Amino acid sequence: MKKILILITVLMLLSCKNNSTNASTSQDNNNSGNAGENNDNNTTEEEKEKKDMEIILPAEIAKYAIDINTATKENIEEAIKKYAQDHNGENKVIFRGNCKKTYDGMKYGTTIAGMIRYLKLNKVIVSLEYVNFKDKKLPDNIVGGSQNYNDNIVKIIIPDDITVIGKDAVTCSKLEYINIPSNLVSIEDGAFYACKFKTLNFPNTLKKIGYFTFPICALENLTIPNSVTDIGARAFENCAKLKTIKLSDNMKVLEENLFSSCHSLQNITIPSNVKEIKRRAFDSCRSLDNITFLSANPPIIGENAFIGTVIKTIYVPKGSKSQYEQLKGKYGIEQSVNIVEL
């Protein structure tokens, strides 16, 4: 009987201990939850954003990156020096955050290119890959603007989710590389000016290339995917090193001065869907000596479309030689040109 009473007493004591522990744990959890809520209520939006970014970003980015919204030439310089010290002198600035800024290309030194130019550093890499941009658009003038002689920046990395590259976005005379996002849809007017990259790989999502988009660039080879239906006037003007061009099969118009002064271009194939070649489209392409037309009927050709070329041979579809004979002596095409059926 005593043994039974002792057993009952032990069980009761253990039960009381468990209840006490559960109550204590529950109270602690409740207090913890309240503390978290209070902390969240007292945390500013900027601090929340920073905390979220620190969770998402690698430790290296958290260490070196600066908020794009508060970027100045002073903190950009500090960030570059800090990165260079730990990376064998490599000059790189990493930006992060949700971009809320707009960039005025007419105000000297307010764009990223303008601020970096003040620093007089060589071979600067600009990383924007950890920045969230509104509407997935790289903003107008962000690494461009009136400081068109910027010669510091050699590489720019942009987020792969960008679908639009804005107007006058990049003006860097020594830029050798920029990644082209895999879902890019549109490149707006003047997006790249006098850049030094030799080739660009456009995705099959690209639909539009704007006016005066790649003038004076060092492009050597160019392939326009068939997804592109619209290229603005002067888009590749004065790309003097451009040797080969593959046009989109779905283009209908070659705009004014589209490839004017592309001095290294030797031949071009005009897709069958092209219905019009506007004035001076190939003006001063002084190495251009042969053209292939894929349409049985010549497109409408504007004034001096081929002035300044050295065209000797025009290749045309079988049975259309007589139609193309009418081009001789017009539009900058010499009377002596040889029309050859494919």
Backbone angles phi, psi at 247, to 5 degrees: -85, 155
Q: What gap in Å lies between CA 69 and CA 2, rounded to an integer?
A: 78
Tell me the pLDDT band of 49, cut-offs 50, 70 and 90: low
This prediction has a pTM of 0.82
pLDDT tens, 278-327? 999 999 999 999 999 999 999 999 999 999 999 999 999 999 999 999 99
The answer to whether the CB of 289 falls within 8 A of the CB of 315 is: no
Backbone angles phi, psi at 167, to 5 degrees: -65, 135
- Secondary structure percentages of the chain, helix, strand, coil, to 5: 25, 20, 55
CATH 3.90.230.10 for domain 198-342: no
**End-to-end Cα spacing for the chain:** 115
The type of residue at 287 is S
The two structure tokens encoding residue 136: 């997935």
pLDDT at 51 over 90: no
pLDDT tens, 113-150? 989 988 889 999 999 999 999 999 999 999 987 655 68
Give which of 178, 191, 185 is closest to 207, Cα–Cα: 185
Using alpha carbons only, give the angle 207, 242, 271 rounded to the nearest 5 degrees.
50
> 3-class SS at 186?
strand
Where in the sequence of the chain do the CATH 3.80.10.10 domains occur? 198-342
Q: What are 267's strand-pairing partners?
A: 290
